[in-house]
Structure 1
Amino acid sequence: MTDTTKASAGPSKLDRLEKLLTRKNGATIAEMMKATDWQQHSVRGAMAGALKKRGLSITSEKVDGVRRYRAEKKA
């Protein structure tokens, strides 16, 4: 794969997860699964591993029975 091919492919799935999680309202597991085409365990694994390595602090909150995840850059 050449650099031009990779550049034209658009944002990676981890980039999409990061974008969803840094929104004001964050994201649900279902929203993240739809955006990445991953299964639930893969989304959770990415949050616990790769996104934390990117320097994100991930929190969750349950509102009206729905768990939402948010991420912030660590200081």
Structure 2
Amino acid sequence: MTTATKTSAKARNRRMARMPADHGNNNEKIGAKKPAAGIAKAAAKPSETPKKPAKIELVLIMLRRAEGATLDQMVEATGWLPHTTRAALTGLKKKGHVISSEKMDGVRTYHVAASSNA
């Protein structure tokens, strides 16, 4: 048993995904993208405000303090969940930072002891 496709006079013309809507316009290349208008202006204008530090940099700053940082302090500062914050500490260890922790009065405090990236 073979299946045949039905063709009818009302069959719609199919276009390829990259074909432009106007088939007769040969002035534009198929698939060429136009640059966004705001990109050139934003790139030419120097930023007036300094960039806010990344969250991982904020965690490093907190860990470099003399008192270090608790997990709750890092969670509050970054807005991350506790397991994400612990994963970020693991990522810092993989990047060469030596992170130590101590538990005083039932609260664990983390410190950056040294780093090879200093």
TM normalised by structure 1 equals 0.81
- Partner of residue 58, structure 2: 16
- Partner of residue 41, structure 1: 83
Tell whether 2:49 aligns with 1:30. Answer: no
- The one of 44, 57, 69 equivalent to 2:110 is 69
Residue identity over aligned pairs, in percent, reads 39
Unaligned residue ranges in structure 1 (runs of 5+): none
What is the SS of the residue equivalent to 1:44? Answer: helix
TM normalised by structure 2 equals 0.54
What is the SS of the residue equivalent to 2:69? Answer: coil
- Deviation above 6 Å: which 4+ runs of structure 1? none
Larger relative contact order, structure 1 or 2 (CA cutoff 8 Å, min sep 6): 1
What is the SS of the residue equivalent to 1:38? Answer: coil
Unaligned residue ranges in structure 2 (runs of 5+): 1-38
- Partner of residue 57, structure 1: 98
Matched residue pairs, number? 72
Please give the alpha-carbon distance, in whole angstroms, between the structure 2 residues aligned to 1:56 and 1:23. Answer: 15
Q: Report Cα offsets for 1:3-44 as digits up to 9, x if no partner.
A: x67x84410000000000111110100000001000000000
Greater radius of gyration (CA): 2
